[in-house]
């Protein structure tokens, strides 16, 4: 429990503080590929012209990642904004656990290894094969395979998902080919390791927020049952499926590696399975498929009795999975908890794709509310179509509900997430991203009109960049081109800073309009608390607003 916040005695507004999170919208480094600047955003342009704003860091050390070479992401971004401080996050925690050897001394690792040594079964690794460092890192997988051989495991199978989202859209073979060679180099009379299955991350296995369980079904049938189109190697599968479909890596169909017509790596009773992704949102559903005694979302056909573990605990309240290799950061004293203790009424909303971010992740990886009487969460169901086909997504529906809630006068603090810049940005389709920005901009204008009418304050920010960097560039800044001369699409997040605009038509000198510079997005929490009239906790990262 936390104590109520003290009043700052400076700021008081009739209407609510409304936090607008433009997911995946930063300040582009290059003109070419900056879909944010290419879009017609009349409303945002007017906000920048009239109200004070600053840039916030949203990647690397500013959000708890190992280095400033690491892209931010929605999970760590919302963690930082919601708790007002920076905690070491997934990639850093896993790397530290491996380098120190703590992972391999832990109970879970020992349980899974001893299980297959006892049963003669296979140790399976399932996850995203890249160095994107958002969901996983290939170096973590290599370290675990090496340790498994060292500890006497006889057989390893890897079920590898293609990325093309946190790394280059057609970069899969840059990871799969060297990794296949790595496994082959370890094989001898006492150790057998190879890739057993795969597929694009947006087609199989890695669904989130219960948006499309059919993805999980396809993953289950591919990885566990060994059902699907067979190939002699992952290289052959990727080359063939690319040629046939024209799809980028994240959208490639599933494949099964087989020898003499038989899958090389089905998951059987007595095996052990490690999901080596460390990020939780796209790990929960496949974890449920492995752990649930009864599953209603799809027919598993066969449910092998295995020792299953995740890289981390993906849901700290529900304690999912039952076993995990690395403890997640213990995030406490979040902004929402402080506001509840201070009797602040809060409303949170997004569509399915980012609903968990303005609730679970914003609340420090906590499921549920801090106070049922003071909080309301609303999820607008997302469309189940490729985002480039409907790039406006549900931003109008989100705005409709936010405006209704503003006009009700019920809430002191409202937070919302527009997913467009991130979800459409990941498609790599520049024109669609431009459209998504323009659709979002219209809704921001509508919300601002409602906030002004209610006498409130609107804070516009983002969790990381993406839509601002849609083309690949060389180290010298030159634009990379495809064979046909068109720009090479970039589907990953950017390292660019994001905005923080303070829109307040009732400003009367209570704070300086010269906002602080050089801060990270963890400052959003203290900023919102200050604008709500409170003194932020002493150990929170500072507000961008300085009281006069």
For 379-424, how does the pLDDT look when each residue is reduced to its tens digit (9 = 90+)? 999 999 999 999 999 999 999 999 999 999 999 999 999 999 999 9
Of the residues 74, 136, 342, 492, only one is catalytic, namely 74
Phi/psi zone of residue 74: left (φ > 0), alpha (ψ -120 to 50 degrees), beta? alpha
104-108, 138-142, 324-328: which has the minimum mean pLDDT? 324-328
Residue pair 131/139 in contact (Cβ under 8 Å)? The answer is yes
Question: What is the dotted CATH code of the domain comprising 91-326?
Answer: 3.40.1450.10
Q: How confident is the model at residue 328 (pLDDT cuts 50, 70, 90)?
A: confident
Mean pLDDT of the residues in the chain? 96
Rounded distance, CA 446 to CA 440, Å? 10
pLDDT reported for residue 317: 54
Residue 114, CB-side half-sphere exposure with 13 Å CA sphere: 8
In the block, tokens 């020792």 appear at 307
Is pLDDT at 349 greater than 60 in this prediction? yes
Residue 350 has pLDDT above 80, yes or no: yes
**ω into residue 175 within 30 of 0, thus cis?**
no
Span 118-136, pLDDT tens digits: 999 999 999 999 999 989 9
Q: Quick check: 486 pLDDT over 90?
A: yes
CATH of domain 17-88+332-473+481-531: 3.40.720.10
Weakest mean pLDDT among 84-98, 191-205, 331-345:
84-98
What mean pLDDT is predicted for residues 267-286?
A: 94
What is the percentage of the chain residues whose pLDDT exceeds 90?
Answer: 90
- Residue ranges per structural domain of the chain: 17-88+332-473+481-531, 91-326
Query: Between helices 430-454 and 395-408, what is the axis angle to 10°?
Result: 10
Average of pLDDT values for 435-455? 98
What's the pLDDT at 316? 61
Q: Rounded CA gap, 166 and 492, in Å?
A: 4
Residue 495 CB coordination number (10 Å): 19
- The predicted model gives 332-347 an average pLDDT of 98
Question: What's the pLDDT at 506?
Answer: 97
Q: Do 478 and 153 touch, CB atoms closer than 8 A?
A: no
Among the listed ranges 29-33, 356-360, 473-477, which one has the minimum average pLDDT value?
473-477
Is residue 522 flagged as an active site residue? Answer: no
Backbone angles phi, psi at 214, to 5 degrees: -65, -30
Average the pLDDT over 37-65 and give the result.
Answer: 96
- Return the residue matching tokens 């080919």: 177
Q: What is the DSSP letter of 255?
A: E
């Amino acid at each position: 429990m936390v104590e109520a916040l003290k009043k700052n005695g400076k700021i008081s507004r009739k209407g609510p503080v409304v936090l607008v999170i433009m997911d995946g919208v930063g300040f582009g480094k290059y003109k070419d590929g900056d879909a944010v600047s290419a879009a017609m955003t009349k409303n945002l342009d007017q906000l920048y012209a009239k109200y004070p704003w600053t840039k916030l860091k949203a990647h690397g050390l500013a959000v708890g990642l190992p280095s400033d070479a690491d892209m931010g992401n929605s999970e760590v971004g919302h963690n930082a904004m919601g708790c007002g401080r920076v905690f070491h996050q997934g990639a850093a925690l896993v790397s530290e656990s491996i380098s120190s050897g703590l992972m391999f001394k832990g109970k879970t690792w020992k349980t899974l290894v001893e299980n297959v040594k006892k049963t003669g079964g296979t140790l399976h690794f399932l996850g995203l094969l890249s160095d994107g460092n958002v969901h996983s890192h290939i170096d973590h997988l290599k370290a675990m395979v090496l340790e498994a051989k060292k500890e006497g495991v006889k057989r390893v199978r890897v079920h590898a998902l293609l990325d093309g989202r946190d790394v280059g859209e057609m970069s899969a073979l840059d990871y799969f080919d060297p990794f296949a060679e790595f496994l082959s180099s370890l094989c001898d009379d006492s150790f057998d390791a190879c890739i057993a299955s795969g597929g694009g991350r947006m087609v199989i296995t890695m669904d989130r927020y219960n948006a499309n369980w059919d993805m999980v079904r396809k993953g289950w049938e591919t990885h566990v049952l060994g059902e699907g189109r067979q190939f002699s190697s992952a290289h052959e599968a990727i080359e063939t499926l690319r040629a046939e479909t024209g799809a980028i890596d994240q959208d490639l169909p599933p494949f099964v590696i087989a020898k003499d017509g038989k899958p090389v790596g089905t998951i059987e009773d007595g095996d052990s399975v490690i999901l080596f992704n460390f990020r939780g949102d796209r790990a929960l559903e496949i974890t449920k498929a492995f752990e649930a005694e009864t599953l209603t979302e799809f027919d598993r056909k066969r449910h092998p009795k295995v020792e299953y573990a995740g890289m981390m605990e993906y849901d700290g309240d529900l304690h999912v999975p039952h076993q995990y290799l690395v403890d997640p950061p213990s995030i406490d004293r979040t902004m929402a908890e402080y506001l509840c203790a201070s009797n602040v009424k809060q409303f949170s909303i997004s569509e399915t794709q980012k609903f968990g971010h303005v609730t679970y992740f914003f609340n420090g990886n906590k499921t549920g509310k801090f106070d049922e009487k003071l909080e309301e969460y609303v999820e607008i169901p997302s469309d189940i179509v490729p985002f480039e086909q409907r790039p406006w997504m549900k931003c109008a529906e989100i705005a409709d509900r936010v405006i209704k809630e503003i006009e009700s006068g019920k809430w002191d603090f409202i937070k919302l997430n527009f997913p467009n810049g991130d979800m459409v940005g990941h498609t790599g389709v520049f024109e669609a991203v431009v459209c998504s920005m323009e659709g979002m901009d219209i809704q921001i204008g509508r919300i601002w009109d409602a906030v002004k009418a209610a006498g409130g304050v609107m804070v516009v920010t983002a969790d990381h960049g993406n839509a601002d960097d849609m083309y690949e560039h060389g180290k010298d800044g030159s634009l990379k081109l495809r064979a046909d001369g068109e720009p090479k699409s970039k589907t990953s997040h950017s390292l660019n800073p994001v905005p923080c605009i303070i829109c307040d038509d009732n400003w009367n000198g209570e704070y300086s309009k010269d906002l602080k510079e050089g801060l990270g997005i963890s400052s959003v929490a203290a900023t919102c608390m200050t604008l709500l009239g409170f003194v932020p906790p002493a150990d929170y990262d500072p507000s961008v607003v300085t009281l006069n």
